[in-house]
Structure 1
């Protein structure tokens, strides 16, 4: 016999319980297989119709070539930023890629610019396919990856914006046996410094970024181009003084990229 004082749970409470359970199911401490692995930034995409709010240039060498590792232990981008430890991933609603990007980079209302940018506005040459985005929660909360989103429109591409700035990083999947590429042929590396660079995907990526930043700065130097060439030669000497010290080489190249981009 039913207890006289026991009430049946209301439909509303039951619905709330189901909703909470579904929410708990959507949050996972394990990185989705679609985002796991090592990735390399191959495009820094910015809204070409909103140049006033740029914080980075298109394909900015400060971010281009950076290596991203995503696994259950953390999210690590080799740009010197803080790691996201023990990440939790929340599934966001399935959406079309262009609508997803447009929502997250909405522009101020303007008579000549639509509120939502398109993939073409960012120079992103990917199909407007349905995507299953995820949002990241980090330990500690201070990581720039906290509240970042990730989208994988295909098995070999990942899109993200990890610090809330107005750009999209487009990354490609790096295969485990893929050769390391520097700005010079690694097969012809002759010095200890060059061999150390060619032994590290991170250092080789920074080496390519220094070369790209130098190409960016040189035409902007104008009458100071000779001075810039001289300073580049001096910097190479100071970089080489690091020898095989990986930390010293990485710091030297990061600093040089910043200097060149401020020319």
Structure 2
């Protein structure tokens, strides 16, 4: 439905030459509320916007403005992000300077290839000349950082001089890590359809972690993991270019290594697999550690039914096999007896998924130091 409204508003919203922005609520029956901001953003517009949104939970803010006062725009943007409102710049509409700072605050950002969204450094006028404002640009940098933008995007927003603009295209937005909903007629390309480079970098690092440190726990299909890892690299380079691609994934890899050292391989591997699976991505794990065709008990059937338990069961089985390989017979006997006691406790959960997940998680807390980078003997 919103695609039709998008086209309708393209006819409704027209360029204004008013000195202050026109901020009005558009009540469309049967749809969420819309607020239109047109014209130059002036003093008091932040308060006017705040007053207008009171009592409204779901709002889409349609923007068409040459810019205006930074302070007012940051106030409006902060309210938009606080309430998780969407922002829109319609096809062939303009949203420059301070207006762009409002648009980027949207929890869902809509634009098209013909939307003109431009940025430059904040400036002040002195003796008829435009000079960059260090204070205002510092405030913009802090604001964009709080929105979660990385340094490359912040530079893009503030690098152009007062008399220039850098236009943001859909492809450039994704390369800068800014997820968007791109509208082309009635077709909408969502962030899931066309992810940002950050998403591909995250996938690259995550699949790399599975490949290098988690095979011993999960005994996954290596072909699937390697294929997805290579695909993330290729697509990430296409989206951002090789230099930017490296700049994006390098700090992610550093953070992953830090987590590996602090949390341990077992915890990181379980979290990484769950992170990818929650995105609907393949992890090379198709079932628990046993043949589900032979499942008999309620617990076994539950383990086969719930994909969230597959990696946990495989990891537990791999650790059990690892225990069996201990050279110290006394220690091996004690560990295996303890493991059998845990299996009895787990099986008492029957088919209760909450109970089963908690049982595995509690057991893993005692095994954080286990590291099976490679498959265990007998696995």
More strand by share: 1
Q: Which band: TM-score by shorter chain?
A: 0.3 to 0.5
Bigger relative contact order, structure 1 or 2 (CA pairs below 8 A, ≥6 apart): 1
Structure with higher Rg: it is 2
How high is the TM-score relative to the length of structure 1? 0.45
More helix by share: 2
